[in-house]
């Protein structure tokens, strides 16, 4: 019987989050506790990459962290981002998030529909003349670089933020009593092992979102009880509802 679920993500900003509906419907408690946090590079650290933000005419955003740190660094370095800068975002939610910093205008904000960088390629190829800057995390692979090379686009990748473990306090370790834990990234799974080196899964159910997270769970010798996305349940909350319906009878 699942009663207490650790969701390794920040607390939802909206009261309308499906997690709150799940709590009401199934009488469970969801505790939001990220296993890692994102820290932006300082202007001094960023300058070591010898990149001038104004040398580029377009920016490719793969996450909200990239958006936050791009504008934070611009402010710290007293750079005014030109009005005609173009923004290419992997998904619409990131495109809308940009409004926090600039006026949203359709002719300069573009977004894909797959949530992955390949969903942006058609639009970026239509703007072949742009010089693209791609802000990334210190932990990244070369997928974006390789794809943009393949499309013969003019681009430069740079690191703007890093992922660090959000360590548990002694108090949290003592009161660790979850029936289920849900992970959304390989980093989260690794942070669990770092915080709890002697962790034994036993009856604790583990949910994993995305193939990379699933692979890390099994690589760490743990059991996956809930997988998402699937054809039937594209979201973790949908898959979780179904799991609770079947297991919390």
Question: Do 148 and 187 belong to one domain?
Answer: no
| 173/109 same-domain check | no
98 and 25 in one domain?
no
Residues 61 and 145 in one domain: yes
Residue-wise pLDDT for 18-60, tens only, equals: 999 999 999 999 999 998 888 999 999 999 999 999 999 999 9
Question: Are 159 and 54 found together in one domain?
Answer: yes
> Are 106 and 54 found together in one domain?
yes
Domain assignment of residue 21, given as a range: 4-35+167-247
Q: Are 99 and 27 members of one domain?
A: no
Q: What is the mean pLDDT of residues 167-190?
A: 89
pLDDT given for residue 155 in this prediction: 97
Domains of the chain: total: 2
* Range in 146-150, 164-168, 236-240 with the lowest mean pLDDT: 164-168
Q: Over the range 10-47, which residues count as b (16 or more CB within 10 Å of their CB) and which as e?
A: eeeeeeeeebeebeeebebebeebbbbebebbeeeebe
Q: Which of 103, 132, 163 is the last residue of a domain?
A: 163
The CATH code of the domain that includes 109 is 3.40.50.10090
Q: Please say if the pLDDT value at position 191 is more than 90.
A: no
203, exposed or middle or buried, with CB in 10 Å at 0-12, 13-18, 19+?
exposed
Token representation of residue 163: 């992922």
What's 158's DSSP letter? E
Give the DSSP H or E segment for 30. strand 29-32
Residue 188 and residue 206 in one domain: yes
Same domain, 174 and 115: no
| For the chain, percent of residues with pLDDT exceeding 90 | 65
- Coil, strand or helix at 171: helix
Identify the domain boundary among 102, 130, 163.
163
* CB-based contact 133:51 (threshold 8 Å): yes
Q: Helix/strand/coil (H, E, C) string of 1-26? A: CCCEEEECCCCCCCCCCHHHHHHHHH
Does 127 lie in the same domain as 204? Answer: no
Residues 77 and 124 in one domain: yes
Q: Which of 129, 163, 197 is the last residue of a domain?
A: 163
């Amino acid at each position: 019987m699942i009663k207490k679920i650790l969701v390794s993500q920040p607390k939802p900003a909206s009261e309308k989050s499906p997690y709150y509906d799940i709590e009401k419907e199934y009488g469970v408690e969801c505790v939001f506790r990220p296993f890692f946090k994102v820290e932006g590079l300082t202007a001094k650290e960023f300058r070591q990459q010898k990149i001038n933000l104004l040398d580029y005419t377009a920016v490719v955003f793969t996450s909200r962290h990239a958006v936050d740190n791009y504008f934070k660094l611009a402010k710290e370095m007293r750079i005014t981002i030109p009005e005609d800068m173009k923004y290419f975002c992997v998904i619409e939610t990131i495109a809308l998030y940009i409004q926090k910093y600039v006026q949203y205008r359709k002719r300069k904000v573009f977004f894909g529909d797959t949530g992955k960088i390949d969903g942006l390629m058609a639009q970026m190829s239509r703007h072949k003349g742009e010089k693209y800057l791609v802000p990334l995390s210190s932990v990244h692979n070369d997928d974006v670089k390789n794809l943009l090379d393949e499309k013969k686009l003019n681009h430069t990748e740079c690191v703007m933020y890093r992922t660090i473990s959000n360590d548990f306090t002694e108090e949290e370790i003592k009161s660790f009593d979850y029936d289920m834990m849900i992970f959304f990234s390989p980093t989260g799974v690794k942070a669990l092992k770092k915080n709890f080196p002697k962790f034994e899964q036993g009856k604790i159910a583990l949910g994993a979102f995305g193939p990379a997270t699933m692979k890390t769970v099994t690589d760490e010798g743990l059991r996956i009880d809930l997988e998402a996305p699937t054809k039937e349940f594209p979201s973790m909350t949908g898959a979780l509802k179904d799991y609770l319906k079947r297991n919390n009878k």
